[in-house]
């Protein structure tokens, strides 16, 4: 799949793209079917909220056959190759952020590169975060909030938050958020299930708690150029994978029934 010239321009200006209904209901159903079993696994790759609900479940392409295919989906991988003008991308992180009804907690304001750089030794803010909304996301169930263009001035100051998140996250200082949002506003990344989001490593974003009765599950794949691979093994493999094999896109119908047999 190719992004249009207009979409590429928007991505470079805003730092993100929202692609409504890029994946079908059947493709989303294939992804959600495995989740209850994955949540139930006793593994350190399942991070829990303070209330015990699963907050995020990681390393999914190594734990489930459907997730092993979605990380190679051409509607995710090809736009990433196009944006980065690089065909040698490795799978850096694979997860579903759950944000459960009545209990999913905040993700503080941050940009991913702060953590990728300090924790994983990634040299440059090149990685792309590719999301698929697995539930309808509205203003009520904890959408991501993006500050458009917040990547443009270069990385802003951060501090390590070990208190309000379930694992250490480098977060943006409140005065910086106020300055950036005051100048550029905030966009709420909403859409029907199957909508895709693409955002860059320096884009400032976060998400509010989910006190609604509706789940908000989002699949996230981070792809990074092999030439920009992490230099440090501080975090475990499921938080930053060590396998630098370049990802090769599968067929467009790779999530649909029969796809596994065709491989
Ligand atoms: O799932 C969320 O609400 C936040 C996700 C996020 O910040 C990220 O993927 O970097």
Whether residue 31 is contained in a domain is answered as yes
* 8 A C-beta contact, residue 188 and residue 145: yes
Name which residue sits closest to atom 8 of ligand 1, judged by CA.
Answer: 112
Q: Which atom of ligand 1 is nearest to the CA of 104?
A: 3
Give, as one character, the DSSP assignment of residue 237. Answer: T
Whether residue 261 is contained in a domain is answered as no
Tens digits of pLDDT across the chain (263 residues): 999 999 999 999 999 999 999 999 999 999 999 999 999 999 999 999 888 889 999 999 999 999 999 999 999 999 999 999 999 999 999 999 999 999 899 999 999 999 999 999 999 999 999 999 999 999 999 999 999 999 998 788 898 988 876 667 889 999 999 999 999 999 999 999 999 999 999 999 999 999 999 999 999 999 999 999 999 988 999 999 999 999 999 999 999 987 765 55
Q: 215: Cβ below 6 Å to ligand 1?
A: no
Whether residue 125 is contained in a domain is answered as yes
CA of residue 1 to ligand 1 center, whole Å: 24
Instruction: Report the CATH number at residue 181.
Output: 2.60.120.620
Whether residue 127 is contained in a domain is answered as yes
What is the number of structural domains in the chain? Answer: 1
From the list 194, 242, 223, the residue with the least C-alpha distance to 86 is 223
From the list 173, 166, 183, 90, the residue with the least C-alpha distance to 128 is 90
Q: 141: Cβ below 6 Å to ligand 1?
A: no
**In whole angstroms, what is the distance from residue 193 CA to residue 28 CA?**
7
211-252: per-residue pLDDT in tens?
999 999 999 999 999 999 999 988 999 999 999 999 999 999
**In whole angstroms, what is the distance from residue 153 CA to residue 151 CA?**
6
Whether residue 218 is contained in a domain is answered as yes
Q: What is the pTM of this model?
A: 0.95
Whether residue 58 is contained in a domain is answered as yes
Q: 57: Cβ below 6 Å to ligand 1?
A: no
Q: 218: Cβ below 6 Å to ligand 1?
A: yes
Whether residue 262 is contained in a domain is answered as no
Q: 202: Cβ below 6 Å to ligand 1?
A: no
191: left (phi over 0), alpha (psi -120 to 50) or beta: left
- Residue range(s) defining the domain that contains residue 72: 5-256
Whether residue 194 is contained in a domain is answered as yes
């Amino acid at each position: 799949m190719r992004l249009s010239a207009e979409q590429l321009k928007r991505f470079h200006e805003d730092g993100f793209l929202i692609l409504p209904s890029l994946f079908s209901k059947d493709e989303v159903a294939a992804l959600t079917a495995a989740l209850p079993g994955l949540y139930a696994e006793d593994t350190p790759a399942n991070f829990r909220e303070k209330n015990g609900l699963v907050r995020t479940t990681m390393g999914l392409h190594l734990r489930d056959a459907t997730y092993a295919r979605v990380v190679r989906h051409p509607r995710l991988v090809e736009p990433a190759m196009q944006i980065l003008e690089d065909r040698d991308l490795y799978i850096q992180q694979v997860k579903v952020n759950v944000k459960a009804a009545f209990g999913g907690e905040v993700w503080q304001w941050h940009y991913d590169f702060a953590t990728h750089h300090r924790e994983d030794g990634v040299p440059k803010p090149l990685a792309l975060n590719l999301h698929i909304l697995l539930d309808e996301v509205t203003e009520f169930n904890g959408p991501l909030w993006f500050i458009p263009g917040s990547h443009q001035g270069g990385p802003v100051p951060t501090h390590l938050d070990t208190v309000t998140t379930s694992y250490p996250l480098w977060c943006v200082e409140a005065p910086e958020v106020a300055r950036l949002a005051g100048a550029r506003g905030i966009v709420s990344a909403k859409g029907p299930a199957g909508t895709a989001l693409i955002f860059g490593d320096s884009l400032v974003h976060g998400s509010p708690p989910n006190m609604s009765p509706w789940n908000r599950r989002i699949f996230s794949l981070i792809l990074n150029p092999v030439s920009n691979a992490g230099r440090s093994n501080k975090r475990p493999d499921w938080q930053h994978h060590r396998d630098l094999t370049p990802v090769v896109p599968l067929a467009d119908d790779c999530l649909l029934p029969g796809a596994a047999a065709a491989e």
